[in-house]
């Protein structure tokens, strides 16, 4: 379902979201993000698949 981000009522749809704590912990275990500006540009589906894949490689 596409979204028109140019429409005034949709303008701030994703701008106030924050990353889920589990995602933040997952990333912080794998890289140092201190003093960096980062953007989460993936979808939650891709994020879940990545987390599952990397976790299974640890075993």
pLDDT digits (tens), the chain, 59 positions? 688 878 888 877 777 777 778 878 888 888 898 898 877 666 666 777 777 777 787 66
Q: What was the pLDDT predicted at 45?
A: 65
**pTM of this prediction?**
0.45
Question: What are the helix (H) ranges across 1-59?
Answer: 21-30, 44-58
Q: What was the pLDDT predicted at 17?
A: 74
First to last CA, the chain: 37
Report which of 17, 14, 22 is spatially closest to residue 50, judged by C-alpha positions: 22
42/23 Cα distance (integer angstroms):
11
């Amino acid at each position: 379902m596409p979204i028109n981000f140019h429409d005034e009522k949709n303008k701030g749809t994703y701008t106030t979201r924050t990353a889920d704590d589990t995602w933040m912990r997952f990333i912080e275990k794998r890289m140092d993000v201190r003093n960096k500006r980062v953007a989460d540009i993936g979808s939650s589906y891709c994020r879940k698949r990545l987390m599952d894949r990397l976790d299974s490689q640890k075993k």
